[in-house]
Amino acid sequence: MIMQPVMEQLSLVEQFVDSAQKAVATVEVIDRTPAALCDAILRVAKDAQRILYSPPQELPSALFGEFAKDPRVLANATADELIHSAAGVTEAFAGVVRTGSVCVDISYQRTGMVSLLAPLQIAVVAAETIVPQPRDLFRADVLDGKGLTRDFVFVTGPSATADMGPLVRGVHGPHKLHIIVLR
Amino acid sequence: MAIPVNPVDISPRQVANKSDKKALLAAIRMTLGVQSPAVRRNTQTFNRNRYVATGMLADYNELKDRARQIKENAIANLPQLLEKLEASVNANGGHFYLAKTAAEANAYIRDVLLRHQAKLVVKGKSITSEETKLNHTLEAAGIKVAETDLAEFILQVADEQPSHIIAPALHYSRERITALFKRKFDTELPLDTGEELTKFAREKLREQFIAADAGISGANLIAADSGSIMLVESEGNIRMTTILPPVHIAIAGIEKVIPSRTDFGVFLELLPASGTGQPLTSYVSIIHPPLKAPTFAAPGKEPAREREFHMVLIDNGRSRMREDPVLREALYCIRCSACMNVCANFETVGGHAFGGETYSGGIGGSWEAGTGQLSNARFSELCTACSRCVPNCPVRIDIPWLNENLRQRMNQEQGSSPVKFLFGEMTGSAPGDSVAPLQKQFFGNYNTLGKWGTKFSSLANASLHLPGARSVMQGVFGVDRRRELPAFPGKTWEQLYRVENPAKQSAIKPGVVMLADVFTNYGAPERGMAAIRVLRAIGLDVALSSAMPDGRAAMSQGMMETARREARALAPMLRRYLDEGRKIVVLEPSVLAMLRFDFKHLLDGDDTQVLLAQNSFEPLEYLWMVAQEQGLDLAKVFPATKCSQGTRLFYHSHCQQRTCNSATQTIEVLRAAGFDVVTSSVECCGMAGSFGYKREYYDLSMAVGEDLFAQVRRADEEGGARTLVASGISCHEQLFAGMGRAVFHPAELLASLLE
């Protein structure tokens, strides 16, 4: 009886990972601890000399505490730093199973820029906020209706274009998307 | 207008406005000569991906119904919605401006920018601003405009109009982009891969994003209740445009407004799936600007104190479209591009031929006519009413119907002449349709042509071989002399039937009635007889109706009055058979589509239309239903091994047959009989009734056919030539023209297997 919801949640996460990979994102599922998160982010951004960071408004900021201590992390980047950093880290307040998308709120701080300007985008999403379909974000009874009031963007894989002939990933937006799912 | 003959001498801008038909013909030559391979590759990729993506939407049909309903309500309540939206935008702290004309919209935007002393604006993709020619106004005021969508960037460099609504430069191959950039930019870079080209453009545009004083975006949808806009993209340039500069201006047509943000969910899933064929594009922004986030200031620049947002909605003819029962349909369009990608003609030439100054494809004619002049919709002649767009439109717009009505209006605009009137009288045009050009009346009154031709068949057939006859046909009626004209049969289907059935069949016993459609009756009576034998072979009682025109030929020429008259005469005749308990079987798929779909327009309000739609079938579709119900072993009834043509077939189903969902059954039947069937995957053969016979469209028709011919040749590669089989009468002509070998109707093959 108690296991049932956990099982369902697990399978939702598994499906999410699968669709996000199909959308050419990289995904990992980790434990919800400051150490695990710090380790995961720094592993994927290991070559970055500067890492843009927009502190979360949903997840506890303590979770990002260990990561934020790294000297490469910039929580209050200047304009110059915004356009010359290799990675940008934000939370995502929702994930979407069918499309492998993450939803990033861009209405607070510099989240919009942090999630857009650096070549590597890292999004941290809590497993329980992953919903089945994109349309669920427009329901009042899903995630407390957050999708109905916020300014946000569905991010599905890295930026891409076919305008120059063949499909090219990495255009004006990030060239890579890495999603970290918190168990 | 002097238009050079050599394709490479024609620039797309020169032929953007096609109110003069010469421009349309020059544009076809230009696109076939230069753009066709890239257009084909790109549209056909979108087309394949769309089938996959919409197939993954479990409730695709329900979503379409819902989308249609939302748009119908929105357009019905548009004035109230605009008021509500204005209040929402103001409450958010933005500015709202409703422009009556393109000039008003441009002036407003220019003034906002001048007030901010803007020197550089970055633009996300906005086709609406192409409609208003915003860039001209801004540049004239000394404001530099940087197009940041890579396709729009290419067009800005090349000075061309969009050729596609979501991928405006899809007529450019990588090689042509390399050549263009090398010519226009001073660079030593090789630029000979997509990556290099993208990097080159990205670096140029990154500087512009950072330095921009303002950003201009379009809007895919706007919610009146909250002032929210939805922006769909993959490159990230729209996010840059809306997030970085302190001033954001969104420009859109008033038809983009829907009641509520809760409705976004429906369109969010339909739009990318129907367009590029992706479940979602890389970025879909949902914002109700001005954004609350802090502004960005380029290094060394003073940051703006706060963000400013302007929503500029344009009418520019849309209110008139709303009052027009035909053009109103176009306001439901969500601009996904499915109608273009699924269209065989569009796939071959793209929007520089099948399009006007801004809008292109099947839906484009209504938009050009609605926001400009009727004659700007001349290119909509390239819609052959193959109907493949209809089931693929996410808001269920009957696009061929719109184009047929535009055709009627353009016919009327030409005015009458004594010759046209006399010809109309002779051939049976309804009074209002005798203004149509001779070529249109010639093809539109096929029934009369067929009647004369078969009555005097030996004379008619011989006269076509007289010296000079084909020049006359080409000169007067525009029938291309390279086309083999089908010989008129000595006996019509009706006459053959009477010979085979000297005693009248029992009219009481329920069974089926085959409609003696005019195309089969006068063009291929032996196919009709074969179908009757095949249906009888599984024990059905089959009667043949009298031959009557169904309106298809007339409608395709924009002769709507004639079409209505024909439909209204045919419907009660068929109704009597339905009342007897018979089902209706129609051999020619384009006529079946009339009964299933088009009669709803022609018999407005008549319940006969619903009955006809529900009770009419393609012959092998019906045969398959009966075989399934009765568990018939078709291999016994139709043993394929006995076929003198062999068992290896290449089958091409008809475009309208596929729209009717009556194509797969033929394949099932043939396979059940023991045939080895390879099928075509093209949307349409390119003949499309009279279209391929017309002198001005012959080259295009054959170019479209090339995809089909190539598929036949590929199928032939292994194990030698396959027997060609097709269900539509024009597909037969086209396949014969392209492959130079006999083409059979499936019923003919099956009939040949009967004892």
Read out DSSP for B235-259? SSHHHHHHHSSSEEEEEEEGGGEES
| SS3 of chain A: helix, strand, coil, percent, to 5 | 35, 25, 40
CA distance B714 to B721: 10
**Encoding tokens for residue B580?**
């007897």
> Of B669, B671, B404, whose CA–CA distance to B562 is shortest?
B404
**3-state SS record for A95-122:** EECCCCEEEEECCCCCHHHHCCCCCEEE
> Is the CB of residue A34 less than 8 Å from the CB of residue A62?
yes
Profile chain B (755 residues) by mean pLDDT over runs of 10 residues.
56 93 94 95 97 96 98 98 98 98 98 97 94 97 97 96 96 96 93 96 95 97 98 97 96 98 96 96 98 85 86 98 97 98 98 96 97 96 96 98 97 89 90 91 88 79 76 80 82 92 58 95 95 95 95 96 97 95 97 96 88 97 96 96 96 97 97 98 91 92 96 95 96 95 97 90
What local confidence, expressed as pLDDT, does residue B269 receive? 95
CA distance B404 to A87: 54
- Give yes or no for a cis peptide into B290 (omega within 30° of 0): yes
Please report which helix (H) or strand (E) contains residue B403, including its range: helix B399-414
Q: Is B236 on the interface with A (CB under 8 A)?
A: yes
CA distance B302 to B325: 53
The string of DSSP codes covering A23-52 is: TT-EEEEE-SSHHHHHHHHHHHTTT-S-EE
| Most A CBs within 10 Å, among B239, B270, B309, to test the A interface | B239
What local confidence, expressed as pLDDT, does residue B36 receive? 96
A28: β partners:
A180
| SS3 of chain B: helix, strand, coil, percent, to 5 | 55, 10, 35
> Of B276, B49, B283, B154, whose CA–CA distance to A164 is shortest?
B154
Pick the CATH number of A3-182 from 3.40.50.300, 3.10.180.10, 3.40.50.10420, 3.40.50.1970: 3.40.50.10420
Domain layout of chain A by residue ranges: 3-182
* Residues of chain B contacting A179 with CB distance shorter than 8 Å: none
CA distance B89 to B509: 68
> Of B510, B735, B754, B727, whose CA–CA distance to B621 is shortest?
B727
> Which chain A residue's Cα is nearest to B283?
A155
- End-to-end alpha-carbon separation of chain B, Å? 64
- Tell me the C-alpha to C-alpha distance, in Å, between residue B508 and each of B512, B542, B581: 11, 11, 8
> Which chain A residue's Cα is nearest to B152?
A163
> Is the CB of residue B245 less than 8 Å from the CB of residue B116?
no
Q: Do B268 and A135 touch (CB under 8 A)?
A: yes
CA distance B578 to B570: 13
What SS3 class is residue B416? coil
- Tell me the C-alpha to C-alpha distance, in Å, between residue B231 and each of A153, B101, B310, B383, B395: 9, 24, 15, 30, 19
B248: β partners:
B215, B309
CA distance B314 to B323: 16
CA distance A155 to B364: 31
Beta-strand ranges (E) seen in B382-505 are none
When CB atoms are compared, the residue of A82, A152, A173 closest to B282 is A173
B544: β partners:
B514
> Is the CB of residue B233 less than 8 Å from the CB of residue B281?
yes
**Encoding tokens for residue A82?**
């915004």
* Residues of chain B contacting A80 with CB distance shorter than 8 Å: 299
User: Quick one: B579 exposed, middle or buried, by C-beta within 10 A (0-12, 13-18, 19+)?
Assistant: exposed
Stretches where chain A sits below pLDDT 50 are 1-5, 7
CA distance B266 to B234: 19
CA distance B605 to B622: 27
> Is the CB of residue B463 less than 8 Å from the CB of residue B469?
yes
Residues 6+ apart with CB under 8 A from B370: B317, B318, B320, B321, B324, B327, B330
> Is the CB of residue B503 less than 8 Å from the CB of residue B712?
no
Question: In the block, which residue shows the tokens 């969009």?
Answer: B162
What local confidence, expressed as pLDDT, does residue B3 receive? 47
Domains of chain B: 15-319 (3.40.50.10420), 418-477 (no CATH), 493-751 (no CATH)
Residue type, A109: Q
Q: Do B239 and A101 touch (CB under 8 A)?
A: no
User: Quick one: B607 exposed, middle or buried, by C-beta within 10 A (0-12, 13-18, 19+)?
Assistant: exposed
Q: CB B388: neighbour CB atoms within 10 A?
A: 25
Q: CB B541: neighbour CB atoms within 10 A?
A: 16
C-alpha distance from A22 to closest chain B C-alpha (Å) = 11
Burial A44-73 (b: 16+ CB within 10 A, else e): bbeebebbbbbbbeebeeebbebbbeeeeb
**Encoding tokens for residue B217?**
């975006």
Q: Do B167 and A153 touch (CB under 8 A)?
A: no
B564: β partners:
none
Residue type, B602: L
CA distance B423 to B435: 10
Residues 6+ apart with CB under 8 A from B485: B464, B473, B479
> Which chain A residue's Cα is nearest to B229?
A151
> Which B-chain residues 156-215 have CB contacts (< 8 A) with chain A?
167, 169-170, 172-175, 177, 193-195, 197-198, 201-202, 205-206, 209-210
> Is the CB of residue A72 less than 8 Å from the CB of residue A85?
no
What local confidence, expressed as pLDDT, does residue A1 receive? 38
Please report which helix (H) or strand (E) contains residue B529, including its range: helix B525-537
Residues 6+ apart with CB under 8 A from B303: B246, B294, B295, B296, B297
**Encoding tokens for residue B352?**
């520089």
CA distance B488 to B456: 9
Question: In the block, which residue shows the tokens 């303002």?
Answer: B214
> Which chain A residue's Cα is nearest to B282?
A156
- End-to-end alpha-carbon separation of chain A, Å? 20
Alpha carbons within 13 A on the beta-carbon side of B539? 6
Contacts made by residues B294-299, CB under 8 angstroms, sequence distance 24+ = B294/A109, B294/A110, B295/B246, B296/A79, B296/A82, B296/A110, B296/A113, B296/B243, B296/B244, B296/B245, B296/B246, B297/A79, B298/A79, B298/B210, B298/B211, B299/A78, B299/A79, B299/A80, B299/A83, B299/B210
* Residues of chain B contacting A110 with CB distance shorter than 8 Å: 293-294, 296
CA distance B262 to B499: 65
Q: Do B264 and A107 touch (CB under 8 A)?
A: no
Q: Give the pLDDT confidence of B718-742 residue by residue, as tens digits.
A: 999 999 999 999 999 999 999 999 9
When CB atoms are compared, the residue of B266, B283, B301 closest to A173 is B283
Q: Do B206 and A99 touch (CB under 8 A)?
A: no
What SS3 class is residue B467? coil
Chains A and B form CB pairs within 8 A to the count of 175
Alpha carbons within 13 A on the beta-carbon side of B556? 26
